[in-house]
Each structure stands twice: as C-alpha cells, then as structure tokens.
Chain A
C-alpha cells in the first residue's frame, strides 16, 4: 500500500534531478540500462563517494552526466585511457566506463583491447545499439550485415565485431552480455563486477528505435523487447566465439567469462617489489597525494 502511495523510483536518488528531462528518445534502451546500473549500485552497497563514472561521446556517453556520482564526459573513444589514469592515481576508486559500441570499439577499440590486456581494474559497460546514434545512424563496427544505415543505404556488407569474443581474447577477466529485456540479469552482472577485480566487460544490447529499429523496419522500443525476448537464449559459459550477432538471428546472452588473472596494479607491485625490495614505494599506501598541496591554498 505504502508503495502505491509513494511510487518513488528507486533510481531517482542516483540521478541529477536538476538535469532532467534527459535527452534520450522514447523507447530508447539506454535509460533501461541506467535503471539496472542504479539497482546494482544499491545491491552492491558500494560507497557511492568512491565510484567514478567515465563516458565517451554519444547518446550513451551522456550517461555520466545524469548520474549523481563523480562523473566524466570525456572525448570520443577515450573514456578508457582517461579511466586508466584516474584509477591509477586513485586506486581506491571503483571506476566504471559507460559508453557506446562505436565509442568503445571503433575509435576507442585500441584502448579497449590494451586495457583488457593489462587487466586493469575497470568495469566497462557497453550499450550496443548496433549503430552510431548520436550522429544520426551511421554504420558502427557492430552493425550486423544487411542492416540499413545512413552511410550504408544499400545495407551493411562489412563483417561486424563479436564484442565478447574480442574482450575475452584481449584478456578481460569478466565478460557478459544481456539485452535491455534482461533487466535483472543485467543488474546482477553489474553488481558482480563491483566485486570482481580486473578488467570487466558487459555488453548490453539496447534498442535505438529512432535510428536503427525504424530504418530497418524493426518497429519501436516495445517491438525490440519482444524481439529480444523471443530471440534470446541464455548460455552462461558459452564459448564467446559462438556468440556473434546477426540482424535477425539468435541472441546468446549470459555470463561467458569469469576468470582470475592478475590485475595491473598487483603485477606492478609484484614486479617492483621483486626488483627493488624495500626501496619500492607503493603510492596506493600513501596518504592521498600529499605532494599536490591540496587545501592549504596558494
């Protein structure tokens, strides 16, 4: 009863109310992923003052600006290297990278594979709407064959990336894929990665009704949910080589990879300790940046 009287959206405390309404279109899946992310923040009980979110540029790139966290809207493709510097300067932070498929796998693809190789402790959430949405619906490296885009008016003929396979091959410790239909599973994965050390990657297949669905006669946001429901198959642990997406085919979802590889900072600490012994100064153990000067003014 009280729930009915105070229909407070549990996500609201995590949003910058003063920035609403958001820019996303009706039926867009990005907001759905943010709901799941907020749930994950609640469930994982992370200290919100210690969570930083870093986005690149795109419709998804706007996520950082709406979340009431330390948030960085960086440049196109460079959220991961920004996050790398942030995490290394303050290892106590949980650093989340939240960005689009084009941002993370086209212009930023090199950074993604190198961050995964290093296994640096970043939680990367990729909203894959199969398109460059912000710029009006151009081909992305994720756009499946035959789909129509503004730059492939006769249909895409380039092969698309299989994101989980790429992330795993590059070294990610955790790889999962869900769709915006799988709000609970998505939230659980997001929660799980907060407890997982190393490079974690979650792909969320998400509709862009405005620029992908309609142009490809796939209906609106609701039709996308139906499509996801009907075409998804959960296969936890599926070999990532088998989970590539096609325009109309099966969508394999699940947690594909959950393995332990030494994290970047641990590797760094081990190497330096091995070589330098007591002479090594681990700045993660120092008081936070006394050399910066901080509050004592000019």
Chain B
C-alpha cells in the first residue's frame, strides 16, 4: 500500500537524523508514539509531538520508559502503528517489553539513539555499544531485527523499512542510531506518498469465531486482529498455543519459540540490507555500520590512494546478522577490518561468520567521539600486510 499523504512531508529538507527519523515514522504511518525524555533522542518525539495533532494521532509522554515501551504495544493492539524512542538508560528499562513484543508478535519499532555507556555514561556523546543489547537484551531466546542508519536521509528511509519489517514479520524492530547521526544536519529528500511502499498490517480475513490468533500462515507469521472488532481474543506473554492460550510445557515452548526464531531466520536473506563496493577484488574489506561507516570511508579512500585494494561492506541490517554475506567476503578477501564504537561487539559476529576463512581485525573504540580515520587506516595496513 501507499503512504497516507497526511504523514508525508514531501520535499527537500535540511534536518538532523532525529528529525528525519520522526518523519520516517510519520511517513510509515506511525500515529502513536510514547516516550520519556532522554538525550540524545528526545528531538524525535519532540517533533512527533508538534506534528501529530494536525495529522491525527497521539503522542503521550509517559512516566518512564517501562511505561512508554508497553503503551506502544497497547496502541498496536488498539489498531495503531506505534513506536518509542530512547537512549542507553531508557533502552535498558525497555528490555522486558521488547521480549513481550517478540512473544506476543506485536509489530512496533524501538528507536535507540546510542550514547556512551554503561549507566549514565556520556549522555551527549556517541557510541555503538548497545548492539548486543539490541540483540540479546530481553531474557529468553528470540530473534530480532535491527537496522542501523548512517545519515539523516537513511534515518528517514530505513525507518520506513523498520516499520515494514515489523509489520511483515510481526516483531519489534530495533532502530539503532547514534548521537552523531541523530544530531548531524544534512539534506533529506522525502518522496511523494505514492512513491513510499508500506507493508500493511497483517490483519486476519477470518471472521470472529474462526480465528486462532496465533495460527501461523505459510511464512510462519500469524495474522492478527485488533481489540474492539468482535474477535474476543487473548494475548499473553506466557508460552501459548495457537489459540493464544497459556500452554506451559516443553512441547508448547519448543513449538512457539522455534517458530518465533524461524520466521526471522528463514527471512534473513531478504532482511539483509547492506551497501558494498569493490569487495570482489579486495584484499581487505572494511565492515562497518552507522556513523563509523562514514569515518571508515575516509580511511578506505586513503588506503586506496596508497595503492591498497580495499573493499567496503556496510551493514544496514545488523540483526539478523548477514552471515552468508560475511562468509562470501571472507572467502574472497585476506582480511576483514571491523571498526565500531564499542570495545568489540559486531567484530565477534564477523569472526563467527568468517569461521577462519579470513583474518578478522577489530578496531575498538570506547565511544565519546568517532574514530580517527588514521586509526582505521592503520588497521587496514596491518591487515593487508
């Protein structure tokens, strides 16, 4: 389906990533947001608060992130598309509801504009250190989808993808920005509404009385209904059967958890958004994501100038991790260099996927600023040697 024109600010804008993220959500049809102020993410909901009354929808500033992360889930079951926005400490408080959303298959988007941590850390400075938390932060086994934009334009574009994935797979999607991307101002082009493709809510076509709320369709994703439509369904965070009723035994657990993981694992290839350049003939491929990819670009250019054959692979989808692509890169290159604004998170995934086929060199950074390109260049040189 096409985007609802009321939410689409078609035109050319100069805005920062936080504002672009909000516009992406509005263009994607989000009409409900709940949030609790936290730097450097607040601008997203501030913009939403000012925009939504003339579009039709609701912003509510909740009493904390526990509340905002479940208010959005209530709104989804009430029929809205919804998201919440936070940073480090707030993201930590939201973990239980990421699990609840995964378990109840509630489509929604969690935006995390990453700052330095742990704890209060560096409220106004960047990091990419919540990448594993985005993957594993809630208890229990589940798969998750996480996207990582590297520019204000991508904050807009990928936010639409984030909503589309969440609707298609009925799962929470983590939108992993960082302070620099959130606060950098660049040109953002917002297309006409009829150029924006949206994945519609997977609403059941069955009549009340015929619906088993958690009976999967062919792609393992069930169709849903909304409260107030006469279905009288039940939703629970307990392990449940296809009717949605609690079923607390190992068989039901295996069936449900297996399906929740498999519906995403099976789609890994179509979920894998990335950008690559000159990887075929490369000796070294730099694998990066988010803001670090832009610093890496400078290092790659410098390395090429000095005659090294360097490829670039940028993850837009970080979860599910694009194993197959990393295997392909590892088969062709001598080494993979992984700079990131943490002390080593995604580099381990690269190591796992590469499985020894290429050398993997991390370029850790504790956050607070971006890398110096020279630091990445050094790693490229070492890896190429």
Residues of A in contact with B (beta carbons under 8 Å apart): 16, 18-19, 48-50, 52, 54, 64-65, 68-75, 77-78, 81-90, 92-93, 110-111, 114, 268, 272, 276, 279-283, 286, 288-298
- Interface contact B228-A54, CB-CB below 8 Å: no
Of B167, B199, B226, B238, the contact of A73 (CB 8 Å cutoff): B238
Q: Evaluate contact between B235 and A73: CB separation under 8 angstroms.
A: yes
- Report how far A280 CA is from B82 CA in the complex, Å: 20
Q: Which chain B residues (75-107) contact chain A, with CB distance < 8 Å?
A: 75-82, 96-97, 100
In Å, the complex CA distance between A93 and B72 comes to 16
Q: B68 → chain A, closest Cβ, in Å? A: 7
Q: A78-B66, A283-B58, A291-B29 are in contact. List 6 more A-B contacts (CB 8 A).
A: A52-B228, A81-B70, A81-B74, A279-B54, A281-B6, A294-B201
B residues in contact (CB < 8 Å) with A: 1, 4, 6-7, 29, 31-32, 34, 53-58, 60, 62-64, 66-68, 70-82, 96-97, 100, 167-168, 198-203, 205, 226-238, 243, 245-246
- In the complex, what's the smallest C-beta–C-beta distance from B291 to chain A, in angstroms? 31
Q: Which one, B70, B227, B235, B237, contacts A93 given CB within 8 A?
A: B227
* Nearest CB of B to A56, in Å: 10
Contact in complex: B81, A74 (CB < 8 Å): no
Q: A52-B227, A70-B231, A289-B79 are in contact. Are A85 and B53 (CB under 8 A)?
A: no
> Can you list the 6 inter-chain pairs with the closest CB atoms, starting with the nearest?
A293-B200, A89-B78, A85-B74, A85-B71, A86-B74, A281-B56
Q: Name the B residues within 8 Å of A69 (CB-CB).
A: 232
B236–A89 contact, CB under 8 A? no
When the two chains form their complex, are residues A70 and B70 in contact, meaning their CB atoms are under 8 A apart? no
Q: In whole Å, how far is A297's beta carbon from the nearest beta carbon of chain B?
A: 7
Pair B228/A50 contact, Cβ less than 8 Å: yes
Let me know if A286 and B56 touch, CB within 8 A: yes
Q: Of B81, B205, B246, which contacts A291 at CB under 8 A?
A: B81
27 sampled A-B residue pairs with Cβ under 8 A? A48-B232, A49-B228, A52-B227, A71-B232, A71-B233, A72-B236, A73-B246, A75-B97, A77-B66, A81-B74, A84-B67, A85-B73, A85-B78, A88-B74, A88-B75, A90-B226, A93-B227, A93-B228, A111-B63, A281-B56, A282-B56, A288-B79, A289-B226, A291-B7, A293-B200, A296-B200, A298-B168
Bound-state CA distance A43–B242 (Å) is 33
Smallest CB–CB gap between A168 and chain B, Å? 19
> Closest chain B residue to A285 by CB distance?
B56
A93-B56 in contact (CB<8A): no
- Are B54 and A280 in contact, with the CB atoms below 8 A? yes
Measured between beta carbons, the chain A residues less than 8 angstroms from B229 are 49
How far is it, in angstroms, between the C-alpha of A83 and the C-alpha of B227 when the chains are bound?
11
- The A/B interface has a contact count, at CB < 8 Å, of 189
Given contacts A49-B228, A64-B234, contact A78 B78 (CB under 8 A): no
Question: Given the complex, which residues of A lie within 8 Å of B34, measured CB to CB?
Answer: 81, 85
Contact check, A74 vs B70: say whether CB atoms are below 8 A apart.
yes
Q: Establish whether residues A290 and B4, one from each chain, have CB atoms under 8 Å apart when the complex forms.
A: yes
Contact A114 B63 (CB under 8 A): yes
Task: List residues of chain A with CB within 8 A of the CB of B230.
Answer: 49
Using A90-B228, A283-B57 as known contacts, say yes or no to A293 and B201 having CB atoms under 8 A apart: yes
Contact of B74 (CB < 8 Å), options: A64, A71, A83, A297: A83
Nearest Cβ on chain A to B138's Cβ, whole angstroms: 11
Smallest CB separation, B244 vs chain A (Å): 9
Counting chain A CB atoms within 10 Å of each CB, the highest count among B79, B80, B234 belongs to: B234
* Given contacts A81-B68, A88-B58, A54 and B200 within 8 Å (CB-CB): no
A271 CB to nearest chain B CB (Å): 9
Distance (whole angstroms) from the CB of A46 to the closest CB of chain B? 12
B97 and A78 contact, CB distance less than 8 A: yes
8 Å CB contact of A81 from B56, B71, B201? B71
A52 to B75, CA, bound (A): 13
Which one, A48, A70, A78, A295, contacts B67 given CB within 8 A? A78
Identify the closest chain A residue to B225 (Cβ).
A70
B154 to chain A, nearest CB (A): 23
B1, B96, B168, B243 interface centre (most CB from chain A within 10 Å): B1
* Shortest distance between the CB of A289 and any CB in chain B (Å): 4
Check A90–B227 contact: CB distance below 8 A.
yes
Q: Is the CB of B1 within 8 A of A86?
A: no
Bound-complex Cα distance A295 to B246 (A): 27
Task: Give CA–CA (A293, B202) in the complex, Å.
Answer: 8
**Contact pick for A74, options B6, B232, B237, CB 8 Å:** B237
Contacts of B29 in A (CB 8 A): 291-293
| From B32, B82, B100, B227, contact of A75 by CB (8 A) | B100
Docked CA distance A21–B236 (Å): 18
Bound together, the chains give a CA A272 to CA B227 distance in angstroms of 27
Is A296 within 8 A of B78, CB to CB? no
Determine whether the beta carbon of B66 is less than 8 Å from that of A289: no
- Tell me if A292 and B227 are in contact (CB < 8 A): no
Residues of B within 8 A of A293 (CB): 1, 29, 167, 198-201, 203
Residues of B contacting A289 in the complex (Cβ-Cβ under 8 angstroms): 31, 79-80, 226
| CB contact under 8 A between A86 and B234, given known A281-B56, A294-B200 | no
A81/B66 contact (C-beta < 8 A), A89-B75, A90-B78, A280-B54 known:
yes
Which chain A residues border B202 with CB–CB below 8 Å? Answer: 298
Compute how far the CA of A92 lies from the CA of B72 in the bound complex, rounded to whole angstroms: 18
* Distance A11 CA – B76 CA, assembled complex (angstroms): 30
Residues of A within 8 A of B80 (CB): 89, 289, 292
Cα A72 to Cα B231 in complex, Å, equals 13
Contacts of B236 in A (CB 8 A): 64-65, 72-73
Residues of chain A lying within 8 A (CB to CB) of residue B227: 52, 70, 72, 86, 90, 93
Q: Are B234 and A276 in touch, CB under 8 angstroms?
A: no
Closest Cβ of chain B to A237, distance in Å, is: 30
Tell me which of B57, B74, B200 has the highest count of chain A C-beta atoms within 10 A of its own C-beta.
Answer: B74
A54 vs B100: C-alpha distance in the bound complex, in angstroms?
14
Check if A88 sits within 8 Å of B78, measured CB to CB: yes
Interface centre among B60, B70, B233, by most chain A C-beta atoms within 10 angstroms, is B70
